[in-house]
C-alpha cells in the first residue's frame, strides 16, 4: 500500500542516505555531485519543515520509506511551484509509484495551496520521469539544449508544466 505524508526528521535513516550513493538513483540529478550524511539529511528535513517555501513529502510503501516528492517556491506571487521527486529504492521503479506520487502532489497543489501551475525540469534521457509527468497531463513547454551535464554526457533539459 502506497502512502504519502509530510516527511519528518524521524523518517531519515541510513538507508535513505544510501539512496544517493546509488548511481542509478542520482543518474539524472544534481545529487550525484553532493555528499550525503545522516546528520546532513536530518538537518535538510528539519529545514524543509520550517520553510514555508517548500513542502517535502515522503513516499512510503508498506511503511518503508522509498522516495520523496516536493513542491518548492510555494511563496511565489505567481501561484506556481516546482515539482521534484525521487524514488530512492530501485526495486520500486516501473510500478507506477512515481505517477501516483505526482498525482497526489497535484491534489496538494490544488487543495492546500490553490496554485495555478506546477512545473518540472527533467533530463531528456530520463524516460521514466518523462512518462510519469506526461501520464499526469504535464505538457512539454520548452527544451533547453545541452543544458545538463550528467555522467560525462550533455543532455537537454525538458521543461514541463501543468495548469491546474
Cα 6 to Cα 16: distance, rounded to the nearest angstrom: 15
For 160, which DSSP code?
E
pTM for this model (two decimals): 0.92
Give 30-39 contacts, CB < 8 A, sequence gap 24+.
31/86, 32/150, 32/151, 38/12, 38/13, 38/14
141 contacts 80 by C-beta, under 8 angstroms: no
pLDDT value, residue 85: 96
pLDDT value, residue 127: 93
pLDDT value, residue 22: 86
Could you tell me what percentage of the chain is helix, strand and coil, using 3-state DSSP and rounding each to the nearest 5? 30, 35, 30
CATH of the domain at 75: 3.40.630.30
Ranges in the chain, pLDDT < 70: none
Cα 75 to Cα 116: distance, rounded to the nearest angstrom: 12
pLDDT value, residue 131: 96
Decide: helix, strand or coil at residue 41.
helix
- How many domains does the structure of the chain reveal? 1
Range of the domain at 119: 2-163
Cell numbers representing residue 51 in the block: 520553510
pLDDT in tens, 106-139: 999 999 999 999 999 999 999 999 999 999 999 9
Distance of CA 159 to the CA centre of its chain: 14
pLDDT value, residue 31: 81
Amino acid at each position: 500500500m502506497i502512502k504519502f505524508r509530510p516527511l519528518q526528521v524521524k523518517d531519515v535513516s541510513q538507508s535513505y542516505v544510501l539512496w544517493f550513493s546509488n548511481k542509478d538513483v542520482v543518474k539524472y540529478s544534481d545529487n550525484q555531485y553532493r555528499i550525503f550524511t545522516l546528520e546532513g539529511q536530518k538537518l535538510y528535513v528539519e529545514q524543509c519543515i520550517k520553510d514555508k517555501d517548500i513542502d517535502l513529502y515522503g513516499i512510503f510503501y508498506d511503511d518503508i520509506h522509498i522516495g520523496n516528492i516536493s513542491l518548492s517556491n510555494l511563496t511565489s506571487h505567481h501561484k506556481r511551484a516546482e515539482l521534484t521527486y525521487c524514488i530512492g529504492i530501485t526495486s520500486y521503479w516501473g510500478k507506477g509509484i512515481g505517477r501516483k506520487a505526482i498525482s497526489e502532489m497535484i491534489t496538494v497543489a490544488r487543495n492546500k495551496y490553490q496554485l495555478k501551475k506546477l512545473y518540472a525540469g527533467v533530463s531528456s534521457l530520463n524516460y521514466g520521469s518523462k512518462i510519469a509527468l506526461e501520464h499526469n497531463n504535464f505538457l512539454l513547454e520548452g527544451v533547453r539544449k545541452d543544458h545538463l551535464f550528467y555522467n560525462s554526457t550533455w543532455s537537454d533539459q525538458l521543461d514541463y508544466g501543468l495548469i491546474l
